[in-house]
Amino acid sequence: MSNFAAQVDVRPISPREKHPTIFSTFDKLESGTSMELVNDHDPKPLFYQFQMERPEQFTWQYLEEGPAVWRVAIGKK
């Protein structure tokens, strides 16, 4: 069992739905909890979007850095 409040595997999701799905899941998190993001590439652009749209509201920790799978723990402060 994981210690994440949610897991979002965006690999099967259409590109236009990926970021809205991730932000929707993040917004539902309780403060102090985390979600696990699973992707097929480095989600660095998403990190920058979080910095712009949710400044100082999140933490970001790589759990796995490719080459086939990228996993990131995104926490809600």
Checking if the pLDDT of 29 tops 70, the result is yes
Model confidence over 1-26: pLDDT tens digits? 467 999 999 999 999 999 999 999 99
Model confidence over 34-55: pLDDT tens digits? 999 999 999 999 999 999 999 9
Q: How far apart are CA 13 and CA 43, in angstroms?
A: 14
Report which of 37, 39, 43 is spatially closest to residue 69, judged by C-alpha positions: 39
Q: How far apart are CA 25 and CA 22, in angstroms?
A: 5
What the chain holds in terms of domains, given with CATH numbers, is 6-76 (3.30.110.40)
Q: What is the pLDDT of residue 30?
A: 96
Helix (H) / strand (E) element for 50: namely: helix 44-53
Q: What is the pLDDT of residue 3?
A: 79
Q: What does pTM read for this prediction?
A: 0.94
DSSP 32: T
Q: How far apart are CA 39 and CA 14, in angstroms?
A: 12
